[in-house]
Copies of this chain bind each other. A is one copy, B any other.
Amino acid sequence: MNEEYARIDFNRRERIGMVEAVWGQHKTAEQIVAILKRFHAEGEFGLVTRVSAFKAEAISNCLANVVFHPTANCLTYGEMTKSQPSLGKVIILCGGTSDLRIAAESELALQCHGIKVELIVDVGVAGLNRLLNSLPRLKTANVLIACAGMEGSLPTVLTGLVPQPVIGVPTSVGYGVSSGGKVALEGMLSSCAPGLTVVNIDNGYGAAMAALRILKFGSPSS
């Protein structure tokens, strides 16, 4: 078979200012190693998302200089960009401990680009006072990312309280009708709070890249 492995799009960094990211879920450890070796040849830093601990170990056995981030289920390869506080700050909120892995994927993807990030866990709307108590801290962010499963109402309530851009990340945390995350997704899309935008279920990486676009290009002075 004359297949040609992943033609890597190395000028994406120039075109849209992002480090190379590889979606690891449907790729074998072997395929990921082959891709990272080409990164190495090009002197590129790489981020691999959706890698199980098991697959990560198989990759680490073949390649030095690979770091596994267990909460985020991600691998990084090479040296990370230094933090650039002048680009602004992102705060990531999540409804519960169960949403942590998605929030952590977002956090890591931003850190790979030198963006300052803070994480606030367990500010679900069933105990509203915890969210209300966080309001002063939320004022310090330029962009907010809100991850929630179940009925996914955290981003709706949040968007009604703050003036900044809010990106909702529905998570697949739930059961019964909310199993798989579609209820959280559609709840966020239906939100009565004006200006909330949304990414795919569990797409922590995508929310981070949207925040990056905002911080770097989203205003005349940026």
Residue ranges of A at the interface with B (Cβ–Cβ < 8 Å): 1-7, 9, 12, 15-18, 21, 23, 25-27, 31, 50, 71, 86-89, 95-98, 100, 103-104, 107, 118-128, 130, 142-143, 150-153, 156-157, 159-167, 170, 172-203, 205-207, 209-210, 212-222
Contact = CB atoms under 8 A, between A and B. Distances in A.
A100 B88 CA distance: 35
- 7 shortest interchain CB distances as A-B pairs: A176-B201, A195-B209, A178-B190, A197-B197, A26-B98, A153-B153, A219-B222
A86 B173 CA distance: 38
Contacts of A18: 194-195
A120 B7 CA distance: 10
Contacts of A221: 219, 221-222
A54 B79 CA distance: 40
Given A23-B98, A176-B200, A178-B186, 20 more contacts: A2-B119, A3-B119, A5-B122, A6-B96, A15-B161, A15-B163, A27-B98, A125-B157, A142-B220, A150-B190, A152-B187, A165-B213, A165-B217, A170-B176, A178-B200, A183-B189, A195-B213, A197-B198, A214-B214, A218-B222
B97 A191 contact: no
